[in-house]
Structure 1
């Protein structure tokens, strides 16, 4: 397995400190750059990378370290920390020790801690790692620093950490695989989980989560299909009848009393000069958690303190390209969202998916959803909103076993969509409960209750509602 070693430093890594870390292998290793200078690499005498080191990320949200790395990983000190990731090349002896020594040297000079704390190379890091005779496998020209194997069909990334986040490294690999018509395949041991952004992107794009299993070899962590390596990629294995078996490890689960509330909504704004984005997400966050988001960023960890103004400035700089961001909460109320800002002919659209976790004894604020929908219609240009419930982990991470799919609980329609469907059609539905009007009476939206969110009947209610709004005949 490729090993990632992370230095969480109390002070900003300056040039002398980084240089001292780079000398962990002595003066004979070469230093190269990649990713337009965003990645520094320690290379062997032939210029082949042994360790890749990303530009330090300022971490203004300390709880991000424990969310992604586990309890006890929080940076020491009261101020911000710096997250410095070093990635050891796959299958290279002593490369992991070199990465650990680099991280340990940084924390020796700048204060802080290394994750994992028992990483090879962290003990006696003041002495150079013996790299005599060490060589790396030549990297394909098209490979990203985070890619461990590149074929014509797939980019394979090996990960071994508690939660696999959508880091800037991984998001760059995902972009490159889409552009090159490859599949991103993330290979992990069975104890790893996916962060919500990583799971959502893997499900939306050609990609696969490959989980190692001692009984069947490999299986898909999201579908359970047993996998085999064929045609330069991991693909579902087939039995004699052509059916792909499901791994036993995927189905070996117990009941849970933990819940997730998931809101997916879209808003549309006129592109005026004083537009400030993020208001709809902030309103939903306040309603469901009692406070605003803690942080945001264009990848994980989301190291910036939440700021609607900074979010707007970033989206403005990137326009007309879309802007994708991660938004995170605090440990006392786990919440993670993805927000995509899209410039369309109609205006500026925000596409949000927000998930909030609840424990066995915590009440879900379901009674607040109609009021939230009304606020989104009145103040934030709501187009549509789907509210769903699911039995799943409170911390929102995705384990490599079966989880029940989310069930619809409620649906909301904005005024423009009501007008498109027809006011009479939108207000008179075949559902058991009458819809609740939202916003102004002259141009209303509507909130539709779909059931209790605990049985599959709510899916039938949603399908019936959507067919009715589209003017299709009953199924």
Structure 2
């Protein structure tokens, strides 16, 4: 298994500290760079990497080490330096641990996990070599076939780190799926879940009873024909390709918390005065009383929240799309992913946002109409769907069954409402009429639903509304 070891330090590791870390395997170890110099690698005698060390990341957002590692870092701001050992080489794992321990000692900090960083001594690696890398291998990829790239993760929370984000991009460029293998106790960050929900990408969970299973669907898996694939059920047919569900996936205790999930899209004219992120900040303030805490192009989110900096990044990357993650303060778990795309309609922001609530905390459902009106009147809202479900307050995705969300509200922007013939958007089959938002002459429409997370029949009402709006 690969080993990720992280140094969390009050000071940026200076060149001498980095050199001390890189000499963990002795002065005869080869050193090279990758990722345009952003990754330094310790190599064996043949030049194959034993340990890869990323450039230090300056984290200015509170709560990220606690959320992703379950550990307490130095006070914000601090430096986050990752070392990743080569798969299945015990000495490489020890080497990564010693490298991180030396960085922590010299730059005033700590290292995670503690058990991997107990020694500062040189790791004996004489005669050690590793298997040749496939020609198309990525530093974060552990197994590469003609169908998928496999990444083995040993973190408590599988996050969309720079390592994993690069692996997703490399796999997509090579037209491969990405499959992430974890231990049973691991969870996913919401930022990773969507990327692993499309075939042949998978979250593969090791299990004592069933071997492997898909952490998002429960399907029992096996390694077959160069990828992890579902095991066919004895009752499966060509028309009914069912597969057994792992017992561990079904062994659940109903979550006591709640999650409020909001997905929306805004469309802006592409002009030099455009500032992105305003819609997300508006709804975040309306639902929590505070703006987002931070953002970044990967996890951990390391930058203080700044719509202007987000806009500058998206403008620099245009016409290519920009993906970022946005997080809230630790007191109110919140996370959003934002995808900015340049289209014929203008500049589109696709946002998925969620907040977590404990059993004694009431999700702010009453604030939704006002939040929707702000987006519709000030931020060119196209559409929005709000769901409520029983799930963990910390937003982490477990490898167990979690019930789906239930619609609380659907919103159509003013431009979309005006595009429907007659009064189709106003006269619907729902029990409650839509609530107009904004100017009476050109309103957006807010369609409320009961919002009981135990009543999945609400989805039938939502489907009836969609069919009605489409004219079916």
Asked if these proteins are the same fold (TM beyond 0.5), I'd say yes
Q: Secondary structure at the match of 1:330?
A: coil
Equivalent positions of 1:164-243 (< 5 A) are: 164-204=158-198, 206-242=200-236, 243=242
1:124 aligns with 2:119: yes
The residue that corresponds to 2:239 in the other structure is: none
Q: Secondary structure at the match of 2:212?
A: strand
Q: CA separation in 2, counterparts of 1:140 and 1:288?
A: 49
The residue that corresponds to 1:401 in the other structure is: 400
Q: Do 2:104 and 2:111's aligned partners in 1 also have CA atoms closer than 8 Å?
A: yes
Once the 2 structures are TM-superposed, how far is the Cα of residue 407 of structure 1 from its aligned partner?
1.2
Q: Secondary structure at the match of 1:118?
A: helix
Q: Secondary structure at the match of 2:432?
A: coil
1:270-325 per-residue CA deviation (whole Å, 9 max, x = no partner) reads 12221111010001111111100010000101111100110000011011111100
1:308 aligns with 2:307: yes
Once the 2 structures are TM-superposed, how far is the Cα of residue 256 of structure 1 from its aligned partner?
2.0
Q: Do 1:341 and 1:349's aligned partners in 2 also have CA atoms closer than 8 Å?
A: yes
Equivalent positions of 1:263-412 (< 5 A) are: 263-412=262-411
Q: Secondary structure at the match of 1:383?
A: strand
Q: Secondary structure at the match of 2:467?
A: helix
CA-based RMSD of the aligned residues comes to 1.1
Gaps of 5+ in 1: none
Q: CA separation in 2, counterparts of 1:451 and 1:370?
A: 14
Q: Do 2:62 and 2:330's aligned partners in 1 also have CA atoms closer than 8 Å?
A: no
Q: Do 1:93 and 1:134's aligned partners in 2 also have CA atoms closer than 8 Å?
A: no
Q: CA separation in 2, counterparts of 1:205 and 1:232?
A: 14
Q: CA separation in 2, counterparts of 1:13 and 1:440?
A: 56
Q: Do 1:18 and 1:106's aligned partners in 2 also have CA atoms closer than 8 Å?
A: yes
Gaps of 5+ in 2: 237-241
1:103 aligns with 2:100: yes
Q: CA separation in 1, counterparts of 2:458 and 2:200?
A: 29
Q: Do 1:41 and 1:53's aligned partners in 2 also have CA atoms closer than 8 Å?
A: yes
The residue that corresponds to 1:74 in the other structure is: 72
The residue that corresponds to 1:31 in the other structure is: 31
Q: Do 2:162 and 2:298's aligned partners in 1 also have CA atoms closer than 8 Å?
A: yes
Q: CA separation in 1, counterparts of 2:113 and 2:147?
A: 32
1:462 aligns with 2:462: yes
Once the 2 structures are TM-superposed, how far is the Cα of residue 204 of structure 1 from its aligned partner?
4.4
Q: CA separation in 2, counterparts of 1:188 and 1:282?
A: 34
Once the 2 structures are TM-superposed, how far is the Cα of residue 205 of structure 1 from its aligned partner?
6.1
Q: Do 1:451 and 1:457's aligned partners in 2 also have CA atoms closer than 8 Å?
A: no
Q: Secondary structure at the match of 1:84?
A: strand
Once the 2 structures are TM-superposed, how far is the Cα of residue 268 of structure 1 from its aligned partner?
1.1
1:210-266 per-residue CA deviation (whole Å, 9 max, x = no partner) reads 000001100000000000011011100113322310000000001222000000000
Q: Do 2:140 and 2:163's aligned partners in 1 also have CA atoms closer than 8 Å?
A: yes
Q: Do 1:436 and 1:446's aligned partners in 2 also have CA atoms closer than 8 Å?
A: yes
Once the 2 structures are TM-superposed, how far is the Cα of residue 64 of structure 1 from its aligned partner?
0.5
Aligned mate of 1:88, from 75, 85, 88: 85
Equivalent positions of 1:250-269 (< 5 A) are: 250-269=249-268
Q: CA separation in 2, counterparts of 1:348 and 1:152?
A: 36
Q: Do 1:384 and 1:413's aligned partners in 2 also have CA atoms closer than 8 Å?
A: yes
1:312-342 per-residue CA deviation (whole Å, 9 max, x = no partner) reads 0001101111110000011110000001111
The residue that corresponds to 2:52 in the other structure is: 52
1:395-417 per-residue CA deviation (whole Å, 9 max, x = no partner) reads 00100010001111110000111
Q: CA separation in 1, counterparts of 2:321 and 2:152?
A: 29
1:68-125 per-residue CA deviation (whole Å, 9 max, x = no partner) reads 001xx23223x41111110110111311100000001111110111000111xx2330
Q: Do 1:283 and 1:372's aligned partners in 2 also have CA atoms closer than 8 Å?
A: yes
Once the 2 structures are TM-superposed, how far is the Cα of residue 206 of structure 1 from its aligned partner?
3.7
Q: CA separation in 2, counterparts of 1:200 and 1:239?
A: 26
1:353-398 per-residue CA deviation (whole Å, 9 max, x = no partner) reads 0000000000110011011111111101000000001111100010
Q: Secondary structure at the match of 1:446?
A: strand
Q: Secondary structure at the match of 2:171?
A: helix
Q: Secondary structure at the match of 2:362?
A: coil
Q: Secondary structure at the match of 2:90?
A: coil
Q: CA separation in 1, counterparts of 2:208 and 2:409?
A: 42
Q: Do 1:421 and 1:470's aligned partners in 2 also have CA atoms closer than 8 Å?
A: no
